[in-house]
A and B are shown apart, each in its own frame.
Chain A
Amino acid sequence: MFAYIVKRLISGFLVVTLVSMAVFALFWYGPSSPAKPICDREQGVRCIPERLVAYEKSLGYDNPIYTEYGKFVKGIFVGREIAFRTDVYQCDAPCLGLSYNTKQPVTHELVSRLPATISVAVGGAFLYLLLGVPIGVAAARRRGSVADKALVSSFLFLSSIPYYLFALLTWLYLTVLWEAPVVSDVGYFSPFSDGPLKWFGGLFLAWVALGIFGCTQYTRYTRGAMVEALSEDYIRTAKAKGLPARTVVYRHGLRAALVPVVTIFGIDFGSLLAGTIFTERIFEIQGIGYWSLQAVGNKDLPVVAATTLFSAVMLIFSNLIVDVVYSFLDPRVRLS
């Protein structure tokens, strides 16, 4: 088991390295000079070729790509100095570059936005399971009934709405039309330490939108996995032992059905952690997703690169966790 985790960590590290190279190369070989956005940003003056060359020189874009990639990697581990023409900034490890916009280290901002994203992700993911799994189990037990068919088709309808539209409608209904209490009419992020109610109020809308939309999928997964599990021979054995129906369904059926659901959940949770762009944008929550969207708009290349890399790390990491958890859930994997 330990060897397996180490092996997965090594391969995960390799993938992260490849992703970082790809992101680096993407901007390096882009259609315009990677220094152009920051040159354009200078107030009041047009970016004339001479100034652009100066920026390129100070940012090292005149060096070969591998030298600069080397500096970038070194920055992550030991930090480095970054010059915007004449101004030199210190960027401590782990350095992911400086924002063109604020000239602040990207890492600082990433860390400051992390609590918001984690809060959205945890709440949303919690609702995925809290709603999706019980509804899925109930539907599987009544497979083929009118209630099951109605549920399956209505959830199919829900999940075929584009998510951003769904989120906007949720916002519209809950705040503008219904004026739900506690919930503010725009979302915001207030740290948990500043009072749980405030934290809850600001994120509630985002959670509801994410949770309801996501739970339709989890209902489908759970229902499918449960239907399959309930048709297994060991369920018949459990019934033949004289176990009560509840025990048969939950201890024998759900225990087996949860394995694939947990697998999908782990990956979904990873992508939630990587940032929920629509949710954060629509509900005005200053998380990583919103930030990356702004960075694209601002042509803030270091931020775009950092958020992309961060997403990749989150996904790879969640995949690793899923595989480890999976082997704990299924003794056939663990003991072979």
Chain B
Amino acid sequence: MPDLPGMEHPEPKLRMQSIHKSFTVGGKREPVLAGVDLAVEDGEFVSIIGPSGCGKSTLLNIIAGLDQPASGSVSLDGGQDQQRLGRVGYMLQKDLLLPWRTVLDNAILGLELKGVSRRQARKQALQLTESFGLSGFEDQYPFALSGGMRQRAAFLRTMLLDQELVLLDEPFGALDALTRIQMQEWLLNLWDSMKSTIVLITHDVDEAILVSDRVYVLTSRPGKVKMVLDVDLPRPRDFEAITSLQFTSLKAKLLGALREETVKNGAETWP
């Protein structure tokens, strides 16, 4: 979304202002987030990247409503301090499928919790299993599925609810390299067709550039925004974009910023 000067901006989907948070670890107060400012427009794909332990997951927990900031404000669709649980989709590296439910019944979990009848929910989910690469596996239990399929089933569960904002916390981190590339391309297509707003946390610089409209780089702990990088690569993108000159120069910028943080941090290694 180009930022035209003078144009009246509607409220962004998500706005976070000077978010602070600290944890008490072993009796010691440890600041984790030190004033994070962040905005995500409707329909945007934004990535957050940063050194290990910079508080990325804490940030997502706050966005999802699982955790509250010590200070600062979070607004979803312009509303302040409302209940965000149930409005923001959240997906972790672990697929968190319920082992006692079949793929289909895992997918409809969110709808079921909203009070949709099982039959209706199943019907709705069945229309999507094809595009999630799960057709033929609807009645399988999760343990029988490969890692990539389980992750897609978890995606289906997240997307089926049609929540306003979807948070992805290293969703492909546990997959092998080849599956990860396939999943990234698949996610791009999915995002294109579903027009959802996504915030992705990743350790993978290539992944961040490939999928995002914007990349936020966080500093090492306590985390705050170090750099915001606009990714103006043409869409639709596929994996070949990775070798383009434009991509490489963006990657150099990102890696440079990250290296500064890791060096500052001393002991931490990157990636």
Whether both chains belong to one complex is answered with no
